[in-house]
A and B are shown apart, each in its own frame.
Chain A
Amino acid sequence: MSENIIQLKNISKTFVTDKGEFKALEDINLDISRGSIYGIIGMSGAGKSTLVRCINYLEVPTEGSVVIDGKELGSLTEKGLREERKSIGMIFQHFNLLQQKNVIDNVSFPLRINGVNKKDAHKRAAELLEIVGLADKANSYPVQLSGGQQQRVAIARALAGNPKILLCDEATSALDPQTTKSILELLKNINEKYGITIVIITHQMAVVREICSHVAVISKGHIVENGEVSDVFSRPKTKEARELIMLESGENTWYNESSEDDNCVRIVFTENSAYEPVISNMIKKFNCDVSIYQADTKKINGKTTGEMIIGLPKDEELSRQLKDYLTEKGIIVEEAR
């Protein structure tokens, strides 16, 4: 097992507002191993943005400890904490570039505040812009760039201090699907090439599926489920995780309405079973009707995974036999509701 670069131990965060206390996070435990791309997914308001800010102590947890590469952030002085932050890059949903500075000065910024002279900072910034594919935009201002380009500048800026961790807070949420894809490719590239551990906060399942190796599902301040992406996606154990996955696959009202009378199950096929005509064989074998409400096949980390919502006959004995048959064929079967 690889070493954990980020360890969150019993993290709780309570905000005190005029209206009383608000528990944003409760008893979060999470280990993130070096070199992984870790997704933290949840609906808005689940506490994921607060959680990612606890990792670099932009938000100081009310309870618990954050250990980065063996160093406990809570034990550091202000100065020590600022030093530690220099090894943790961060990018944001709205890019947060300095609007009054051009691209090269934006990328140089973390170096300049570190005392690097202008010439050396610009040299390094130019290399970084090369990496993110924006070498020709060095003298442009953020306002002249598209969202995707601005995020690339932000990534270059985050990499300037040679961080060991890169935190991404909804980094692709303001971008269109095409641009999202290219930004995710860039992040994956950076992860592979420089071994930087990446933590991705998102509400988009597609983002997690695209590049994450691990995922944690967060709901109402709790981590309800975590593990390898392929496991969590094909066998979500909790209602919250299932909801997120269904929401993503375009789960919509017609399914809920039309299937009310049926005996609905959600089936997930992985690996080879995706290519076998299991359903068709089942229908032939048991000579019964099966309605397909929804079907989708996706590639998760290179493994083909499919999921289907099907309506089985009402006859309990028959439907039990059908479920057994499916299970026998290596398909995961669970109640849709």
Chain B
Amino acid sequence: MISAEFMAKLGEGTLATLYMTIFTTIFGYVVGLPCGIVLSLTGKGGLKENKVIYRIFDVIVNLIRSVPFLILIILLMPYTKKIVGQSYGTKATLVPLVVCAAPFIARIVENSLREVDGGVVEAARAMGADTFTIVTKVLLVEAKTSLLDGATLAVGTILGYSAMAGIVGGGGLGDIATRYGYYRFDSGKMWITVVLLVILVNILQAIGINVSKKTDKRRV
């Protein structure tokens, strides 16, 4: 039932899924982390409270977040071609994935930074720290555990979204499951792929949770 050819496909799919997930996470944070910082700083009670800037970022994040991912892929097709030179293939899926992940990540980062005890920030201000120092040496450091937990959540979500990449020929395990299970009615192969996906997600989650726990100094 499971041919060597299918096994090879699974291997390829796993790699493609990991590729999409990892790159989307990286680029997602490149865009989402600064946005999250801006949101938390300009939000109510933030260090640089600014209603206008907060509102702008808030609206953009909400807008993108409310567009279903499948639609986003189609909407972005013309831009995808301009950015990565192709509108088809694994690389092409990165654009809609990043566009989708960045606002999500921005929100997670915003919430993590907001959890930081205001007293610690006040202490840093009293020491004469500027905003940049407070962000890099206080907020990001103190929110480390929460940020790592957020990243773990983000990775899982991104991996889930990458399963829809098949629509633009992105490949990956989700694509294989759809093809065999949905188009060919081969539920055996679909299940194998699904199990592989589940294992993959769980391994990534376990790594994330472990790292965040191990590095949390608030535990005795």
- A interface vs B, CB < 8 Å? 56, 58, 78, 82-86, 88-90, 92, 94, 96-102, 109-110, 112-114, 141, 143-144, 154, 157, 161, 167
Check A100/B141 contact, CB under 8 A, given A113-B128, A113-B129, A113-B133.
Answer: yes
Residues on A with C-beta less than 8 A from B119 are: 92, 94, 96
Closest 10 CB pairs of A and B: A85-B128, A96-B123, A96-B119, A90-B126, A82-B128, A86-B128, A110-B127, A141-B217, A100-B217, A99-B218
The residue in A94, A99, A154, A161 that gathers the most chain B C-beta atoms within 10 A of its C-beta is: A99
User: Is the CB–CB distance between B122 and A58 below 8 Å?
Assistant: yes
Kindly identify which residue among A90, A100, A161 contacts B123, using a CB–CB cutoff of 8 Å: A90
Q: Bound complex: CA of A236 vs CA of B117, how far in Å? A: 39
User: In chain B, what residue has the closest Cβ to A94?
Assistant: B119
Give the number of residues in B that approach A within 8 Å (Cβ atoms).
24
The residue in B123, B124, B137 that gathers the most chain A C-beta atoms within 10 A of its C-beta is: B123
Q: How many A-B residue pairs have CB under 8 A?
A: 76
User: Is the CB–CB distance between B217 and A99 below 8 Å?
Assistant: yes
User: Is the CB–CB distance between B137 and A92 below 8 Å?
Assistant: no
Check A161/B127 contact, CB under 8 A, given A96-B120, A98-B138.
Answer: yes
Check A98/B120 contact, CB under 8 A, given A143-B218, A143-B219.
Answer: yes
Residues on B with C-beta less than 8 A from A89 are: 126
User: Is the CB–CB distance between B141 and A101 below 8 Å?
Assistant: yes
Check A101/B122 contact, CB under 8 A, given A82-B130, A86-B127, A86-B128.
Answer: no
Which secondary structure dominates where chain B touches chain A?
helix
Kindly identify which residue among A83, A88, A98, A101 contacts B126, using a CB–CB cutoff of 8 Å: A88
User: Is the CB–CB distance between A97 and B120 below 8 Å?
Assistant: yes
Residues on A with C-beta less than 8 A from B123 are: 90, 92, 96-97, 154
Q: Bound complex: CA of A330 vs CA of B95, how far in Å? A: 88
7 new A-B contacts, CB < 8 A, other than A90-B123, A113-B133, A161-B127, are: A82-B129, A85-B126, A86-B127, A100-B218, A113-B128, A141-B218, A143-B218
Q: Bound complex: CA of A167 vs CA of B122, how far in Å? A: 13
Residues on A with C-beta less than 8 A from B144 are: 100
Kindly identify which residue among B133, B142, B145, B220 contacts A98, using a CB–CB cutoff of 8 Å: B142
Kindly identify which residue among B125, B217, B218, B219 contacts A58, using a CB–CB cutoff of 8 Å: B125
Q: Bound complex: CA of A110 vs CA of B218, how far in Å? A: 21
User: Is the CB–CB distance between B217 and A143 below 8 Å?
Assistant: yes
Residues on B with C-beta less than 8 A from A96 are: 117, 119-120, 122-123
Residues on B with C-beta less than 8 A from A86 are: 127-128
B residues 87-146 touching A (CB-CB < 8 Å):
117, 119-120, 122-130, 133, 137-138, 141-142, 144-145
Q: Bound complex: CA of A80 vs CA of B124, how far in Å? A: 16
Q: Bound complex: CA of A100 vs CA of B141, how far in Å? A: 7
Check A56/B126 contact, CB under 8 A, given A97-B120, A113-B137.
Answer: yes
User: In chain B, what residue has the closest Cβ to A141?
Assistant: B217
